[in-house]
């Protein structure tokens, strides 16, 4: 009788089952990701992006519909109020229908006003403080003169405080002077601008811009 063979151990092979990689290993005691928080963050990002797009659209529309800015060579029409530093108004055309019209860079309008208007758009209003150097210049004592009452002014009536217009034959220039003193034989006047040496405040409203290239095209078409 032969010895019995030892029982063979039955081995069952089990195929390896792939496990989906979730990107993060979970450990005991670690809470699962909060999907609600992720959604909230995503929503905030979307809302922020939409708001930024709306703001950019509004800014772009403002620039598109506000028209071009005034540049050198353009002819502009402005309404303005000119006042002293203490607020006393010297002159204003704000309540009139007649604007001041001039060409930027090529006119007798003071440099401070031209600089202020440059870059403005039609319909815009701004207030600027101008030092006398950007307005009517420094007061020049040398422009106070005493002249003899001869020639054209021999029989002209003068009174202290009034203004008088002089035309210079040599240059055909016109100057307005202020009469300071009157005698039988002489007149003393001041040829300085009444605002010479004054720091001024201008409130300017730009009513219209006529661009230089538009005017050139119109001239060429005539």
Band of residue 4 on the pLDDT scale cut at 50, 70, 90: very low
Average pLDDT over residues 193-210: 96
Band of residue 2 on the pLDDT scale cut at 50, 70, 90: very low
Question: pLDDT by residue (tens digit) across 95-131?
Answer: 999 999 999 998 789 999 999 999 999 999 999 999 9
pTM to 2 decimal places = 0.62
Statement: residue 174 has pLDDT above 50: yes
Question: pLDDT by residue (tens digit) across 11-50?
Answer: 444 444 444 444 444 445 555 556 777 777 777 778 777 7
The answer to whether the beta carbons of residues 76 and 208 sit under 8 Å apart is: yes
Q: Measured over all CA atoms, what is the biggest interatomic distance in the chain, rounded to whole angstroms? A: 172
Please report the beta strands in 85-132, taking only residues with DSSP state E, as ranges in sequence order.
Answer: 89-92, 100-103, 125-130
All structural domains of the chain: 75-136+197-221 (3.10.50.40), 141-190 (2.40.10)
What gap in Å lies between CA 209 and CA 122, rounded to an integer? 6
Average pLDDT in the chain: 81
């Amino acid at each position: 009788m032969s010895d019995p063979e030892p029982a063979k151990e039955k081995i069952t092979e089990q195929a390896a089952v792939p496990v989906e990689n979730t990107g993060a290993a979970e450990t005991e005691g670690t809470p699962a990701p909060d999907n609600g928080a992720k959604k909230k963050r995503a929503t905030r990002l979307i809302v922020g992006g939409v708001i930024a797009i709306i703001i950019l659209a509004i800014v772009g529309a403002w620039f598109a519909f506000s028209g071009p800015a005034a540049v050198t060579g353009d002819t502009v029409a402005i309404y303005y109020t000119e006042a002293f530093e203490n607020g006393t108004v010297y002159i204003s055309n704000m309540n009139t229908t007649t604007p001041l019209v001039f060409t930027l860079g090529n006119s007798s309008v003071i440099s401070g006003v031209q600089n202020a208007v440059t870059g403005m758009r039609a319909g815009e209003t701004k207030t600027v403080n101008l030092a006398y150097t950007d307005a009517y210049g420094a007061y020049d004592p040398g422009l106070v003169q005493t002249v003899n009452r001869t020639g054209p002014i021999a029989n002209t009536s003068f009174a202290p405080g009034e203004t008088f217009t002089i035309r210079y034959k040599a240059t055909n220039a016109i100057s307005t002077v202020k009469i300071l003193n009157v005698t039988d034989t002489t007149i003393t006047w001041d040829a300085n601008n009444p605002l010479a040496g004054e720091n001024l405040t201008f409130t300017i409203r730009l009513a219209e811009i006529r661009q230089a290239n538009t005017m050139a095209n119109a001239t060429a078409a005539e």
